[in-house]
Amino acid sequence: MKKIGIYIHIPFCKQKCYYCDFISFAQKEELQEKYVKAIIQEIEYFLKENQNLKIATIYIGGGTPSSINSRHIEKILQLFAPYQPEEVTIEVNPGTVNREKLETYKKVGVNRLSIGLQSSENRLLKNIGRIHNFEDFLTTYHLAKEIGFSNINVDFMIGLPEQSIADVKNTLEKVVKLEPKHISVYSLIVEENTKIAQMLEKGEIKLPEEEEERNMYGYAKNFLELQGYHHYEISNFAKKDYESRHNLDCWEQKEYVGFGLAAHSYIEKIRYSNTEDLENYIQNCEEGNFQKNKIIQEKQNEFMQEQEYMMLGLRKIDGISIQSFKNKFGENPIFIFRKELNQLVEEGLVVVTENHIKLTRKGLDFANLVWEEFV
Ligand code: SF4
């Protein structure tokens, strides 16, 4: 039986955040119905062609999955009910969710919510074009708890325009008081052609200095660890046994299949993604031409797979188990990557212990330099 994870992309949002370059649309509401029909066709086709699957995790991301009618989510998840997935996550954003939606999610098997907060400071939320304020987040969070969601992630961002370390402290204190099981801490990345890039160029806003941002990360790490959150991946912290299984599988190079616009898949050593053209995607699904939506990104040979395994594995705080690498590839990573590892150890970015290869504290701050060695 083949074990896979499932990713489902819902590319609709109420409004585009200023920093966003994800595949998501704010003005295509009239296509939502058609889109969901298309994604259902794509899933049904896949499930028919691939019998004997074990689906352990499902992740519904976006966009803002909670911005569409919850009966759409219900219809999609009903397709997977026979597989009895253990972890089913949906991303929700404050300001797009209500009791009825949350109750529907619960009814159809969602057992993990990921709520996009980003900051407790309303002036910072405004700077990045979020549609909600902190009070909206609290309403969503408490409603979710009341309805019975116990496994909740809160997304939080550092490196925001005009953000100070005191803001980071404030948000962390307020969030931790709510006792979510999982907290993600992401750095703002300014992508070209986003509104935030223009605002910076015009001098309307200012980003914290790099060192200040590193201090924010360091503060968040120490604070969350002191509060009993296990730092298990560069950006992710969880209470014991509440790590995201879906994401851990991705970092362990397990197979997954993505459905929907621009969704990525990794199967049989091939990485591919679906088209990013919404109208095309829908049309191809309507015509049953599902293969036409697929764009192959990479066909891996053994060495490429080993490189990627290193890159992904080093995201985890425990790093790469040398034994697991040997079990998977029949080779010793220290021997294959001795040149790269020697250099990274010398630079103080990576440490090699008897059983593991992992990032040092300095390596956490400069992880990009480490990954570059394995591309
Ligand atoms: S909610 Fe997420 S996907 Fe939607 S615009 Fe904002 S950052 Fe982008």
Q: What is the pLDDT along the chain (375 residues), one digit of tens a residue?
A: 899 999 999 999 999 999 999 999 998 889 999 999 999 999 999 999 999 999 999 999 999 999 999 999 999 999 999 999 999 999 999 999 999 999 999 999 999 999 999 999 999 999 999 999 999 999 999 999 999 999 999 999 999 999 999 999 999 999 999 999 999 999 999 999 999 999 999 999 999 999 999 999 999 999 999 999 999 999 999 999 999 999 999 999 999 999 999 999 999 999 999 999 999 999 999 999 999 999 999 999 999 999 999 999 999 999 999 999 999 999 999 999 999 999 999 999 999 999 999 999 999 999 999 999 998
Q: What is the CATH T-level fold of the domain 303-372, as seen in this structure? A: Arc Repressor Mutant, subunit A (1.10.10)
Q: Domain 2-250's class?
A: alpha beta
Q: Give the chain's count of helices (H) and strands (E).
A: 16, 15
**pLDDT value at residue 16:** 95
Query: In terms of Cα–Cα distance, which of 358, 360, 373, 287 is closest to 318?
Result: 358
Evaluate: CB of 89 within 6 angstroms of ligand 1.
no
Pocket test for ligand 1, best of 10, 14, 17 (most atoms within 8 A of CB): 17
**pLDDT value at residue 205:** 94
Evaluate: CB of 94 within 6 angstroms of ligand 1.
no
Return d(Cα 91, Cα 65) in angstroms, integer.
Answer: 6
Asked if the domains 2-250 and 303-372 are classified in one and the same CATH topology, the answer is no
Q: Which residue's C-alpha comes closest to atom 7 of ligand 1?
A: 20
**pLDDT value at residue 1:** 87
Which residue ranges make up each domain of the chain? 2-250, 303-372
